[in-house]
Structure 1
Amino acid sequence: MKSTPILLQTQNLRTACANCSVLELCLPIGLNDSEVSRLDTLIPQRVKVKKGASLYRTADPLRSLYAVRTGFFKTCIVSLDGREQVTGFQMAGEMLGLDAISAEQHACHAVALEDSEVCPIHFHQLERLASQIPSLQHNLNKIMSREIVRDHSMLLQMGNMNADERLAAFVLNLSARMSTRGYSSRSFVLRMRREEIGSYLGLRLETVCRSIAQLRKLGLVHISARNVDILDMPQLKMFIAGCHRHGPE
């Protein structure tokens, strides 16, 4: 993995959670103005992370959780011989750093896939504030639960889906997350390389390329370079459900 560029911290910049474009997807959801202001005091300044830079690395001590404000990240585990296993992709409104809570040190790397910006939230201060604001504790629990559900969904894909279905499910997942953020659910740009998609889905690069060609041949998804166009959303969902293998009930 490339060396870590220096993180660029914005100077003299108050975070202002209340004015954030991804407020409805992040920790402050459902908090009143006073509670949002108290949470805002835990975020002294946003941090810019250049493309290719690590926000944190394996075994770094737990200091903060990081709310992604803009940009895109991957989390990955790097073996002793340098091989990388991608464990997830995070976008605006999602949280990084939850992997460090149990052991108080990070279990993976978090790397920016494009120039990004995060809001660091000091974890132990967040714990204290959450004990005073039940709705904040509830939101934190929901975020952690969402990560568990995402892991379970990934295990289901790995165990029960063939290569074409895994790629289709990956595209559909990105589509839903884009739609939640107000972007097109049918046309979007991949921030990750095909090799990274393959690592995440447990597929070789050549298998990913074959599956891309197969989904295009079936008239479901067209992927050119990093541009994705979903051609038939209903059929794509049926394809993931295995209807192409099992037929209608």
Structure 2
Amino acid sequence: MSETRPLESHHLKSACSNCSVLELCLPLGLSDQEIERLDTLIVQRVKVKKGAALYRTDDPLRSLYAVRIGSFKTSVLSIDGREQVTGFQMPGEMLGLDAISSDLHTCNAFALEDSEVCPIHYAHLEKLSRELPSLQHNLNKILSREIVRDHDMLMLLGNMNSDERLAAFLLNLSQRLSMRGYSSKNFVLKMRREEIGSYLGLRLETVCRGIAHLRDQELVEITGRDVRIRNMEGLKQLISGCHRPPLC
């Protein structure tokens, strides 16, 4: 893991109202006047180089971070030093929510590619949320979405076999990318196979076998990090025995 102090301030501030992921982020549904007030909390954008940490476990809570460009993974370390990936974040999603309860981050957040975030100072966000009920409502929805995602992850690990886990993971990426205006059938994995395995609770060789199984069923073709979903309905049917849709 590259050890860098990765944060580069980018002083050309971008207003929330002009952001390409506005409809997926904290300002969703706010009026123009409310968005302008939220804009005042984002002093400058921050660039994070690939492999660098946005924050680490036990760092104090200062800001929440809206992903504007790029992608991240969150992870924790076991006592013996092994990494457990806990999530992958893309534009329009929030990082830093893990620190709200204790004022300390409980995981690490690393950039999977050159990325950019909008830091929102948490104390100032709390104050503004008290003045803008719609902003507080959006923050509550984001927190609730994290809880639902955790529940879905537990279901995935508990109820699905390895091929179903991989199928659900790919469908989840497909849906999230589609919401952002990208192709739902052709995309590039930003994470390594080892990181996918860590997230899904699978060994690397099991992930590789699962990719081969999906290819043999003519559902998905994965070459390197390039993904082509050949049969979307077939992929959905593979996990149709599970009681919840794939992770959101």
TM-score range for the pair, normalised by the shorter chain length:
over 0.9
Where does 1:34-183 land on structure 2 (aligned, <5 Å)? Answer: 34-183=33-182
3-state DSSP of counterpart to 1:195: helix
Deviations 1:184-213 (A, max 9, x none): 111100000000000000000000000000
> Does the 8 A contact of 1:42 with 1:122 survive in 2?
yes
> Does the 8 A contact of 1:70 with 1:118 survive in 2?
yes
3-state DSSP of counterpart to 1:66: strand
Partner of 2:4: 4
> Does the 8 A contact of 1:220 with 1:232 survive in 2?
yes
Partner of 1:241: 240
Alpha carbon RMSD of aligned pairs, Å? 1.0
Where does 1:188-227 land on structure 2 (aligned, <5 Å)? Answer: 188-227=187-226
> How big is the shift at 1:80?
3.9
> Does the 8 A contact of 2:6 with 2:54 survive in 1?
no
Distance 1:229 1:106 in 2: 36
Distance 1:188 1:24 in 2: 21
3-state DSSP of counterpart to 1:68: strand
Range that drifts further, 197-206 or 216-225? 216-225
> How big is the shift at 1:6?
2.9
> Does the 8 A contact of 2:214 with 2:221 survive in 1?
yes
> How big is the shift at 1:5?
3.8
Deviations 1:46-104 (A, max 9, x none): 00000000000000000000000000000000134321000000000000000000011
Work out the percentage of aligned pairs sharing the same amino acid. Answer: 71
3-state DSSP of counterpart to 1:184: coil
Gaps of 5+ in 2: 243-248
3-state DSSP of counterpart to 2:148: helix
> How big is the shift at 1:123?
0.5
3-state DSSP of counterpart to 1:35: helix
Distance 2:128 2:27 in 1: 12
Distance 1:215 1:23 in 2: 35
Gaps of 5+ in 1: 244-249
Distance 2:27 2:6 in 1: 29
Distance 1:65 1:6 in 2: 17
Distance 2:150 2:105 in 1: 17
3-state DSSP of counterpart to 2:187: strand
Report runs of 4+ in structure 1 exceeding 6 Å deviation. Answer: none
Matched length? 242
> How big is the shift at 1:4?
2.3
Deviations 1:159-206 (A, max 9, x none): 000000000000000000000001011110000000000000000000
TM-score normalized by the length of structure 1: 0.95
3-state DSSP of counterpart to 1:114: coil
> How big is the shift at 1:3?
1.2
TM-score normalized by the length of structure 2: 0.96
Distance 2:25 2:104 in 1: 23
Deviations 1:18-56 (A, max 9, x none): 100101100111111111010000000000000000000
Distance 1:121 1:227 in 2: 33
